[in-house]
Structure 1
């Protein structure tokens, strides 16, 4: 477990049970569902023999998809473009993470670290927006809310950490300290970012119609299967949240 932890560190099951999607978010998209995973027991700086293969498979998959139709017409990406417009984000300028990765994958996905490379590849292969963060850097449970505009979001500019504030009404993931991801699944903050020292990771998988619960679960299964090879005692806890 890393040093300088937040004041409150919950067990994986307690953390997931306390995570919330606020009703105002479901008012935007009643078809929204999120699969949350906590993966513990990861070996820091572990490498996966399959991570490079996964990235290459994702790049090839993106090329096949984009040979068939424009990126904005891919079903799940089109649904997320519509969702972004619902809270005032311009899809041409603010691309959801799935669209951004799919576009980039055609020419080559970025290589960041083992955990990030794996979840980026799974995102493209299964066409699901997917974010990963350091579980022990979270301060209390995750909540998906509409922003007041006063929350703090730590990002980088010129190699330095800078504080931004989301626009009022923007959909954000947050904990007790501040924003962990802006615009639903657009940009993650630095505070909870995955590193080579991460031993427990928190993953958020986002779905809108036409994606089914079965397809979302299959994506979570694929992610868990690969991550299970990154340690001798890896455990995976999960929770599906949908509209009441």
Structure 2
């Protein structure tokens, strides 16, 4: 039974972080009523403007808090938190296109709450998944590429026994574990580094789970890992 484990070397850098998970089992991610997900994303884009009240993009708190977090470990030049990438597109008037239901759902939550969300296909995992500092030799084929681009030593990554799953914490996903329309079992997560936003974080997790359950069926389970609860069984 795979586990999700957050290692001590992560907590040494981010002792107050929270990682919320939504484990989805037996879902149907092939459901393609595109209009539903386009509307979900369009409404979320409108709400996202509340996080862009300052003229200087990087000065907005949901951006600056992650810029500061990324300065605590070695990152690839130009790597940014996933929520920053989404909000940059909103600021520039570029709509977020639909990809598949799960991705559309978590992107909408990310925009609505100004929090980074991500997801992986559990059935592609090799052993346990860990959030940790990279050794630096983990294989990693990024989405849309076929070339190995391993993380730096000390970079925060999600990884399993076969290599890195997401580089620079939440910057770039791996091709190997990406969510597709064939995904039946999914590991979704929301990450928090700003302690003052704990209420929104828990609301976002609940809404993420509710949307998946309502649109894709299956069963969902929410669990939050923090300094005092560092690992969990993915199933069970």
Normalising by structure 2, we get a TM-score of 0.88
Counterpart position of 2:64: 78
Counterpart position of 1:103: 88
1:26 is matched with which residue: 11, 36, 39? 11
Cα distance in 2 between the residues matched to 1:82 and 1:68: 18
Cα distance in 1 between the residues matched to 2:176 and 2:158: 13
Deviation of 1:90 (Å): 7.0
Q: Give the number of equivalent residue pairs.
A: 225
* Structure-to-structure mapping, 1:152-167, within 5 angstroms: 152-156=139-143, 160-167=145-152
* Cα deviation code 1:124-153 (max 9, x no counterpart): 111111101111111222201111111111
Q: Which runs of 5+ in 1 are unaligned?
A: 1-9
Cα distance in 2 between the residues matched to 1:67 and 1:79: 15
Normalising by structure 1, we get a TM-score of 0.85
CA contact (8 A) 1:58 1:105 kept: no
Cα distance in 1 between the residues matched to 2:145 and 2:216: 32
Q: Which runs of 5+ in 2 are unaligned?
A: 229-236
Deviation of 1:187 (Å): 0.4
* Structure-to-structure mapping, 1:134-213, within 5 angstroms: 134-156=121-143, 160-213=145-198
CA contact (8 A) 1:54 1:122 kept: no
SS at 2:141's partner residue?
Answer: strand
SS at 2:148's partner residue?
Answer: strand
Deviation of 1:170 (Å): 0.3
CA contact (8 A) 1:36 1:240 kept: yes
Call closer, same or farther: CA 1:32–1:99 in 2, change over 3 Å.
same
Indicate the RMSD between aligned Cα atoms, in angstroms: 1.9
Deviation of 1:201 (Å): 1.2
Counterpart position of 1:51: 37
Q: Which moved more, 1:71-80 or 1:41-50?
A: 41-50
Cα distance in 2 between the residues matched to 1:103 and 1:204: 21
